[in-house]
Structure 1
Amino acid sequence: MNKIVEVLPDKDALIQRSLAIVVDKIQAAIAARGRCTIALAGGSTPKPLYEQLATQNLAWEKLHIFWGDERYVPSDHPDSNEGMARHAWLDQVAFPLTNVHPMTTANAEPAVSASQHEMELQQFFQLQPGAYPRFDLILLGIGDDGHTASLFPHTDALQVRDRLITVGNKDGQPRITFTVPLINHARTVLFMVAGASKRPALAQIFAPVADAAIYPARLIQPEGELVWLLDQPAGQELNVN
């Protein structure tokens, strides 16, 4: 694993640096393999990145969009990760509908939705049984509690090693989420973290020894490249050298 940690002066600089990396990864993947597969993050931090991506001149027809996790709400709900990304980016450009691969949340049972999305990934990536897809880029953030995607502290989802997609749990509310091994098969994982409230969790995530059941982002150790972009309020106390 190639690990890169950068502390940027402020959130605007964080967004601009993220934009440069994402555009570079998209173009490199298309040049190498004819397409780029990217999994988006939810939350407030990446929204300005998506708005910036909507201003770029990229080969949208060669870009396939997925999500690393989704709240179990309709896509037009204010809390929907899909809805946020569509509003900020995908609906603003000539993006092919067939290149957008949301997690369905229409089933009464979240486990059914998780299985359906797993089958979609297996078909799209033409996977053999037991194999994992290799996303070109997975975008992630962290919560103040150290969770990432919908991998929350002390939840069953952290232990899943034989699935691509599972059901996460946030205070009794189900989520659909990538599993740890799926994320760790990515070519590049990019964390975007902003705000002083993330400092305590980051200290544990970056500590030589800490409990990943309490700070799940510690479990993300991809085979490829791991990039942490932090704004100054989040990263100022970290020794990143």
Structure 2
Amino acid sequence: MIIKIFRKEKNFEKETIKFIKKIYKNKESSFSVALSGGTTPEKIYNLLSKENLPFNKTDFFEVDERYAPLSNKDTNHKMIYSSLIKTISPKAFHYFDTSLSIKKSLEKYANELSEKPLDLTILGIGEDGHTASLFPYSKTLKEKKYTVAHTQTDRFKIKDRLTLTFPKILQSKKILVLIKNKNSVLKELKTPRKTFTEFPALKLIKHKDITIHALT
């Protein structure tokens, strides 16, 4: 696990873009990236959209989504599309189709996911330790078979979530975690005191190639 601490937002953004570009440089053929929602990566996606990268060879995937109409202002789809997808020409943008039932949406998305590892998964971590839509004490934390799942949370207005599971996330070749002003989260990652059931993001630190960019 590599942790890089940044004091200035400009440096945080610059180094994150540099990190992503380096992965692209070392990849000659098709590329797959899973994108998280939230306010922290939004500026990164905006900056990334201005880079001259082979987006036409890139399959973008959602890490997770609120089960709400895609027109809802709080959906990850809306943020990812407006900040990145609409200004580039990707090979494809795969997302949880919330116009379908939860079961059918999960089935459709699972079929779109390749059995191959994602080249890069970009994640955030909440104050409670959740990552993607994998929340503390959720039974989905112990999922070993399925690549996607339906989860629920009482912490946010939209309770139903659709998410990649840990088996798929940890299969990724590289994981990049973006954190802003979450010193307690950083402290727990550096010196764990909780179980991964209490703080799900602890599961990530076992990954062989994980980098954390933290703005403090």
TM band (smaller chain): over 0.9
What is the aligned counterpart of 2:172 among 186, 191, 194? 186
Partner deviation per Cα, 1:115-160 (whole Å, 9 max, x = no partner): 2211221xxx2x4xxxxx3110000001111110000111122111
How do residues 1-241 of structure 1 correspond to structure 2 at under 5 angstroms? Answer: 3-29=1-27, 31=28, 34-93=29-88, 95-96=89-90, 99-108=92-101, 110-121=102-113, 125=114, 127=115, 133-171=116-154, 173-195=159-181, 198-221=182-205, 223-232=207-216
Cα offset, 1:74, TM superposition: 2.2
- The answer (yes or no) to whether the contact 1:186–1:222 under 8 Å persists in 2 is no
Cα distance change of structure 1 residues 52 and 160 upon mapping to structure 2, 3 Å threshold: same
**Aligned twin of 1:239:** none
Cα offset, 1:203, TM superposition: 2.1
Partner deviation per Cα, 1:12-56 (whole Å, 9 max, x = no partner): 221111111111112322x2xx11100001000000101101111
In structure 2, stretches of 5+ residues that fail to align are none
Q: What amino acid sits opposite 2:84 in the alignment?
A: W
CA distance in 1, matches of 2:18, 2:53: 13
Q: Which is worse superposed, 203-212 or 160-169? A: 203-212
Paired residues in the alignment total 213
Percent identical? 26
- The answer (yes or no) to whether the contact 2:192–2:202 under 8 Å persists in 1 is no
Q: What amino acid sits opposite 1:117 in the alignment?
A: Y
Partner deviation per Cα, 1:189-234 (whole Å, 9 max, x = no partner): 0000001xx22233223324421111100011465410011012xx
In structure 1, stretches of 5+ residues that fail to align are 128-132, 233-241
- The answer (yes or no) to whether the contact 1:146–1:202 under 8 Å persists in 2 is no
Normalised to the residue count of structure 1, the TM-score between the two structures is: 0.83
- The answer (yes or no) to whether the contact 2:32–2:60 under 8 Å persists in 1 is yes
CA distance in 1, matches of 2:186, 2:140: 21
Cα distance change of structure 1 residues 82 and 27 upon mapping to structure 2, 3 Å threshold: farther
Normalised to the residue count of structure 2, the TM-score between the two structures is: 0.92
**Aligned twin of 1:235:** none
Cα RMSD of the aligned pairs, angstroms, is: 1.6
